[in-house]
Structure 1
């Protein structure tokens, strides 16, 4: 037995525990993200979500003015009458009955449109993204109004475009500056909100719209005409859309939305564009989401068939006019001497400028401390920002609430 034990091999040594591998670094994100900031407006909305804050910050439609009953009835009708098709996949171009209704509404507004001219999108913001995909290469030049809608700047940043600001005045984009910059920069696209612009509320007069259209034809760039506010005119006469002007008809894409006239939660918009561009955007949309929600399209089409959207918009327009007037009435006492502001003929915003030496961004935390908020104007500029500027939205609160909010605003300058 002993000899047997001696012949047995000795036990193998127990190996040392292996040292843990060093954690691999997190895989990188796309470099394009380094050049796109988050939206200051969204951050301010989160900051001012407390119910005691009267916020003039968000460009939000008034929720109490939504036709909740009419929208509910439209969904119920669709899910009762045509549930299988309403819940099925659909074509990328969009619900034919919805496109026919949108085409009729645009034609009534003076822009002759056929249903085949339209692509239904998931909000007009998607329409802008599709245009950027179809038209812009990395390094392409995009001209914008200065100041400009923030989400458009984000969209062009993600596309890798080089954004070049065009100066504006109280009537919007300055045609002479546009012509000079376009000749120098050779842009692929001009983005413009010519009617009740965001953030300034300004409206581009017809003579300037014509000059913009002629510049596009002369210098060979596309125009993206964004029109989310055009149906909210309180004063003055309507101005024709750029898309309807002969010089630009073959190179203008019109962006529209149901967010302001019905409800933003629907996320339903449309793109009207020349055939070659529209086809490119259809392909881009197929890659993005195949098609916009079938049931939402069907419900809005049913709403437009069964309800009077024009009458509903007229009621909203009257309410917003009263709210605009309440804001304009209260601003002289709310802002310090030497301030100035415009009187928009419609839309959702008043653009104000404080006296020299005031910084609207630095003052915002003080305002929030008094339970009132606004959006500083500086982030809207892609050129040299104006630190004294601010945007005030008047749509979300009643005239009495606006008056109280402006009294609170006055305290930060006392």
Structure 2
């Protein structure tokens, strides 16, 4: 008899004589997210990380969210724990519609589909709109997870040049006329990664180009409520010129809690119905209890007041970063002053490589995201993204002092 100690080890996955099929070829051109890899690299508590675009956890309204779950489970547990409709909780959709209407975007509950985060909304749209080889236009640089989504679909991603105010309308017009795209993907307000906001006149130009040339606009708006300065700019979706071809994506991740994984899309009826079918195939519906708790939170709590608290904290942190950058960065560096959102976009002087510098920075216990991976066109090696939301003003100052030592 063999003892447990002497028994031969068994492979967790025994090897058979005929290999299993390989993964789908479409995976070959899709890279993992460098931001996620950097977050894993810098998870040590002693590292001050400007890398992640994460909401500040100490600002979550834990008591209010807990109370919402308690009430949902106490009052109607059988509903909260059951399957539900694909379109989403009616009370939650009504609350979202009310909030969008208050932002000068008239919306009915039936205009909306609740999704498992706005990332799923983008995936559903890509599923129903994009065939392999179709052209998708993106601003350059662009949100990384969008590039992953389009890569999985086999799209041909074409960058549209940008300047300090976002997409350049003349370039968009020329490229769209030449490439015949299926859609244009934009984060027009406090863009990830640059923090830029597309001005109203450029939004009108984008709407006009879509109407003339026949492509969809996917307007991703996760940061729109995080404005610290200036006046709100109307959504592209509110422009009647392109209302029939604009999809708005929204999220509760930045204003309530990302762990809820609650987002939504607002789309014309035909496209929305197609996304409902795609969602049925993906996950049937978004979590019933999480939707019910969010709806109850919106009924019982003042989300606008909570967002005001978040904005005040983030404004202080943004200002601390902007005040510290001149001493932290080498002469000749450039950076923007975002009016909201989570990010400052930095361009180091010629000859600097932000990717190569990251290892040195981590050695000084500070981190950021190099800008190069965000580009679909020619990358700028000197670019870097700094997030200011997850550290206090004093921690930001300390982190910038550490960053300065990288250039000493």
- Could you state the TM-score of these two structures normalised by the residue count of structure 2? 0.96
Cα deviation digits, residues 330-362 of structure 1 (max 9, x gap): 000001010000000000000000000000000
Matching of residues 1-400 of structure 1 within 5 Å: 23-400=17-394
Cα deviation digits, residues 186-243 of structure 1 (max 9, x gap): 0000000000000000000000000000000010000000000000110100000000
**Deviating 4+ runs (over 3 angstroms):** none
Which residue in the other structure is 1:4 paired with? none
Query: Any gaps of 5 or more consecutive residues in structure 2?
Result: 1-14
Secondary structure of the residue aligned to 2:386 is: strand
Cα deviation digits, residues 241-276 of structure 1 (max 9, x gap): 000001110000000000000010000000000001
C-alpha distance in 1 between matches for 2:107 and 2:16: 62
C-alpha distance in 1 between matches for 2:283 and 2:226: 31
C-alpha distance in 1 between matches for 2:123 and 2:343: 24
Find the structure with the greater CA-based Rg.
1
Secondary structure of the residue aligned to 1:249 is: helix
Which residue in the other structure is 1:3 paired with? none
Q: How far does residue 23 in structure 1 lie from its aligned partner after superposition?
A: 3.3
Secondary structure of the residue aligned to 1:124 is: helix
Alignment: residue pair count: 394
Provide the alpha-carbon RMSD of the alignment: 0.8
C-alpha distance in 2 between matches for 1:202 and 1:241: 15
C-alpha distance in 2 between matches for 1:24 and 1:376: 43
Secondary structure of the residue aligned to 1:270 is: strand
Secondary structure of the residue aligned to 1:179 is: helix
Q: How far does residue 57 in structure 1 lie from its aligned partner after superposition?
A: 0.1
Secondary structure of the residue aligned to 1:142 is: strand
C-alpha distance in 1 between matches for 2:82 and 2:367: 43
Cα deviation digits, residues 275-296 of structure 1 (max 9, x gap): 0100000000000000000000
Cα deviation digits, residues 294-352 of structure 1 (max 9, x gap): 00000000000000000000000000000000000000000101000000000000000
Which residue in the other structure is 1:16 paired with? none
Q: How far does residue 24 in structure 1 lie from its aligned partner after superposition?
A: 2.8
- Could you state the TM-score of these two structures normalised by the residue count of structure 1? 0.95
Which residue in the other structure is 1:18 paired with? none
Which residue in the other structure is 1:10 paired with? none
Cα deviation digits, residues 40-99 of structure 1 (max 9, x gap): 000000000000000000000000000000000000000000100000000000000000
Query: Any gaps of 5 or more consecutive residues in structure 1?
Result: 1-20
C-alpha distance in 1 between matches for 2:45 and 2:53: 17
Q: How far does residue 22 in structure 1 lie from its aligned partner after superposition?
A: 7.9
